[in-house]
Structure 1
Amino acid sequence: MHHSFSRRRFAKGMMAGAGAAILGDRAARADDGPTPPPKSRTLCFVGGYTKHGPPGGEGNGEGIAVFEMSDTDGSLTPVSTFTDIASPSFITLSADSRFLYAISEINDFDKDGNGCVTAFAVDRRSGSLSKLNAVSTGGAVPAHLSVHPSGKYVLIANYVGGSVGVVSIKPDGSLGKLTDVVHNSGPRQPSRAADNPQGNFAISDHSGSHVHMVSTDPSGRFVLADDAGLDRVYEWTLDLATGTLHPAQTPYFDMTPGCAPRHFAFNKAGTTMYNLCEQDSKVVVSAFNPKTGMITPRQTVSTVTSHFHGSTLAAEILLSPEGKYVYASNRLGDSLAVFEIGADDTLTLVDEVWMHADYGRAMMFDPSGSYLFCANQRSDAVTCFAVDKNNGKLSFTNHFTPVGSPTTFAFMRTLA
């Protein structure tokens, strides 16, 4: 039997078959459910000292390095590095992670010998940085900065300049003018504290005012600054309309002469202040009145065990995200102190952990609080520790991330 079969009929059959295949594929995918959105990632920004720094302050860093963190084991994988910046020794993100601000610990930004602060726009998916602008900090060799809770100003601690600078933030995240610079003054202090630990030969610079940290209490009512040169905690209120600082009811609090207060942290309620002193490696626990700013010391505890004797300089202090533990780093002792917070907010040293590297400075938790990272300036490495949230203790993950002269961190979760 003879059958005729035209090209047109053949084409129609092919189209029908293809349509059925497409519908079948769509049906299969429908059975599997909707396509899941891309997963968000954890990015880590690391800054430190570069070749451009003040005399004696040069380092091996290249700028601000961006890494992706493994949520599984805490390891860091390089993503990119922003190199057009000098010695970004402290960085911080805006509350919404859209912008990053970095001080440059230098003394030659302008003819007046000041340092500078740089604003970056952050790509919320890749973490890449786009420089917006840079302005003077109003003092030499800045060491710390923070963003005021209002989002309107950046607060800057000028270490060599002995001052606190206030810089306005524009709606687009870039930096505006320097709205205030406050210089601290006071009597000359000893290079070693009255309670200097046995065998500690390390000294802190007490030649004048050296502001090492500036930030607000949790309520945002007060601006506080640790002055490691004058051994004082200074307090102001900030006029949000003008960006000017005004002395608080108690303008400063005297610490132990020679102790060099360096960094502080608050409990979530803002009623207890934990102040880390550099020279004597002690934490001073104080009651803090969030209405008046009054600081009342309650306890002083060492960041090293009674077994340790030798030189050490404390560097950083952190509270665990759950607010149950306090962590402090010791640079010369190459150790991490773990304190349990009691019901009365006082501290008990429960563990001391080897840093696994040299001259550990800054520390920071990842956003989940599962890992604690340490910046080891002299070892040119970041070390990572897993956190046991049940007892606060740390376990070294054996992850070393090479970074030149690291000193600071910032973490963010990317957009899905």
Structure 2
Amino acid sequence: MHSAHLTRRLMIAGTFGLVCARKGVAQTTSDSIPSSLPAKASRTICFVGGYTKHCPPGVEGNGEGIAVFEMDRQTGVLTPVTTFTDIASPSFIVLSQDHRFLYALSEISDYNKAGHGAVTAFAVDRSDGSLKKLNTVSSGGAGPAHLSVHHSGRYVLVANYNGGCVAVLPIRPDGSLGEVTDVVHNSGPRQPERAADNPQGNFAVSDHSGSHPHMISSDPSGHFVLADDAGLDRIYVWHLNLATGKLEPAAKPYYDMTPGSAPRHFVFSPNGKLIYNLCEQDSKVIVSSFDPATGAISNLQSVSTVTSHFRGSTLAAEIIISANGKFLYASNRLGDSLAVFTIAEDGTLKLQDEAWMHADYGRAMMLDPSGSFIFCANQRSDTVTSFKVDPHTGEIAFTGQFTPVGSPTTFAFLDTVG
């Protein structure tokens, strides 16, 4: 799908009974998105980001920015509202804890003369989901791949994949961003391109040419900041000095993962005492205990995200956990599948299903605020697919719905108020 056709396609109802888009909703390149949503007491807004024409080398960017949808809470249907186009390749977006602000990285390496990417801050109107651009600053390194808001709400944390570094950006009182307060470059021995425990027939490789931070986030207590480095096969652990915005190594500054496994993304259990780390290269979830007092990590289990009969190339991409901590889900690119796990009382996992994504290169996933649906961003298919979730068993069922979005890679959901 060419990006020039995105708006036209967003205004067409999907093949499987999607609700028709409203007529007369146009894109805007201004700094704000006017709301065209119907008047309701409360509704669910879905923001979808992805790659645009201004994107990393080797990536086909068909998107036009941050696409905005309204989600039908009964069916999961996404109805297009508008698209914010004044941003390059917002391949990861996140809302602040109070949902007053949205932060979007630009996965580029030419924002400034230093060859950095960028992060843009938006104010969010919680009554209708409209956005107002506040400012854009350097991400502190090249090709940012992930960002999160620190538990304190005072800093944005950025993983610069191509730059081999993580950065800290202060959040000003109005939600805008200041210049970086710290940049940390990781270093370590060269790791193999493939893991020894790869699924049989996996020809895919992960870039182990150097440090490639793929995710950074604080633990639920906010005492520690963790980062997955997919290039060095390590989990890094820091304290964040809230007064200075500097990252200080924990007592044990990093933990080595399986060589070549490429740890990519992680989630914590609701109580913050378990961490589930998704490794891209060997498509494994590593279950570990986490000590909120010391930041210590101790591995408990390694489980595959593909069934035992799978053969071929695959790269795991995203991991999410249900709000009640009973179910875990992981996406597999190339294999185009969604793994469904049950979580036992001791936190260990059991793979109960591997569902077809119904599209190509399923990457990001997210549960809607109610936990009723899982949405999957299928980058190479230019579409979002969705699954209905059984709250009692965690099982999923394809809704039959396809939402056209150019090169989608990330989600954020907002329940409006007022």
TM value normalised by structure 2 = 0.90
- What corresponds to 1:268 in structure 2? 270
Q: Quick one: distance in 2 between partners of 1:84 and 1:57?
A: 19
Q: Which residue of 302, 305, 316 corresponds with 2:304?
A: 302
SS in 1 for 2:181: strand
Letter of the aligned partner of 1:72 in structure 2?
Q
Larger radius of gyration between Structure 1 and Structure 2: 1
- Percent of aligned positions that are identical: 73
Q: Which residue of 180, 188, 192 corresponds with 2:194?
A: 192
- What corresponds to 1:11 in structure 2? none
SS in 2 for 1:235: strand
- What corresponds to 1:48 in structure 2? 50
CA displacement 1:302-335 (0-9 Å, x = unmatched): 0000111000000000101111001000011100
Q: Which residue of 193, 200, 221 corresponds with 1:219?
A: 221
Q: Quick one: distance in 1 between partners of 2:59 and 2:210?
A: 19
Any gaps of 5 or more consecutive residues in structure 2? 1-38
Shift of 1:58: 3.8
SS in 2 for 1:268: coil
- What corresponds to 1:16 in structure 2? none
CA displacement 1:365-393 (0-9 Å, x = unmatched): 11000011000000000001100011101
Q: Quick one: distance in 2 between partners of 1:83 and 1:43?
A: 17
- What corresponds to 1:388 in structure 2? 390
Q: Which residue of 275, 279, 282 corresponds with 2:281?
A: 279
Shift of 1:126: 2.2
Query: 1:69-108, aligned counterparts within 5 Å?
Result: 69-108=71-110
Q: Quick one: distance in 2 between partners of 1:374 and 1:342?
A: 25
Equivalent pair of 1:225/1:235 in contact (CA under 8 Å) = yes
Deviant stretches of 4+, over 3 Å: none
Shift of 1:355: 0.3
SS in 2 for 1:327: strand
SS in 1 for 2:170: strand
Q: Which residue of 348, 355, 379 corresponds with 2:350?
A: 348
Q: Quick one: distance in 2 between partners of 1:185 and 1:38?
A: 52
- What corresponds to 1:155 in structure 2? 157
- What corresponds to 2:315 in structure 1? 313
- What corresponds to 1:29 in structure 2? none
TM value normalised by structure 1 = 0.90
Q: Which residue of 299, 322, 337 corresponds with 2:324?
A: 322
Q: Quick one: distance in 2 between partners of 1:184 and 1:318?
A: 26
- What corresponds to 2:16 in structure 1? none
- What corresponds to 2:256 in structure 1? 254
Letter of the aligned partner of 1:263 in structure 2?
H
Letter of the aligned partner of 2:360 in structure 1?
D
Any gaps of 5 or more consecutive residues in structure 1? 1-36
CA displacement 1:212-251 (0-9 Å, x = unmatched): 0000111110100000000000000000000000000000
Equivalent pair of 1:325/1:338 in contact (CA under 8 Å) = yes
Equivalent pair of 2:270/2:324 in contact (CA under 8 Å) = no
- What corresponds to 2:231 in structure 1? 229
- What corresponds to 1:9 in structure 2? none
Equivalent pair of 1:316/1:329 in contact (CA under 8 Å) = yes
Query: 1:8-19, aligned counterparts within 5 Å?
Result: none
- How many correspondences in the alignment? 380
Aligned in 2, Cα 1:58/1:110: closer, same or farther, shift over 3 Å?
farther
Shift of 1:415: 1.5
Letter of the aligned partner of 2:392 in structure 1?
N
Equivalent pair of 2:54/2:89 in contact (CA under 8 Å) = yes
Equivalent pair of 2:196/2:260 in contact (CA under 8 Å) = yes
